[in-house]
Copies of this chain bind each other. A is one copy, B any other.
Amino acid sequence: MRNTVQKTMILKTVRSMMDHPTADEVYGKVISSCPGISKGTVYRNLNLLAQEGEILRVSIANAPDRYDFTTVNHAHCICSRCGKVFDYRLKRMPQLNDSDNKGFKAEDMNIIVHGICHECQMKESEEKERS
């Protein structure tokens, strides 16, 4: 496992982006500090960094994966209109319990809430008023 310029810059870039960027968005930003870097390298290193526990990969069905500088597990929500992803605050995170689940050994839990973000709700009611 080597420390390449590319890997270092990718990690630094993800840590500077607080808005759950996609691999493509990370690529778009890292290319300025690391010209000529390839998309494949970005994908490879994001995966490596996630495996090493440096960043969190947030997989969302029917949408590109996101990367999160925070590695503590928490719920996310995604807006069905604009596709933006936010942290979602739950009163309590549900507990994993293997005993009720036929010996399934749980290791990780992903919670994704689908809905409409505040901004898109505003836009929507504006559009309704106009018509």
Residues of chain A whose beta carbon lies under 8 Å from any beta carbon of chain B: 59-62, 65, 75, 77, 79-80, 86, 88-97, 100-118, 121
Contact = CB atoms under 8 A, between A and B. Distances in A.
Number of chain copies forming the complex: 2
Contacts of A79: 104
Contacts of A117: 103-105
A105 to B, nearest CB: 5
Contacts of A105: 115-118, 121
Contacts of A103: 117-118, 121
Given A60-B61, A94-B92, A101 B114 contact: no
Given A60-B61, A61-B61, A110-B112, A104 B91 contact: no
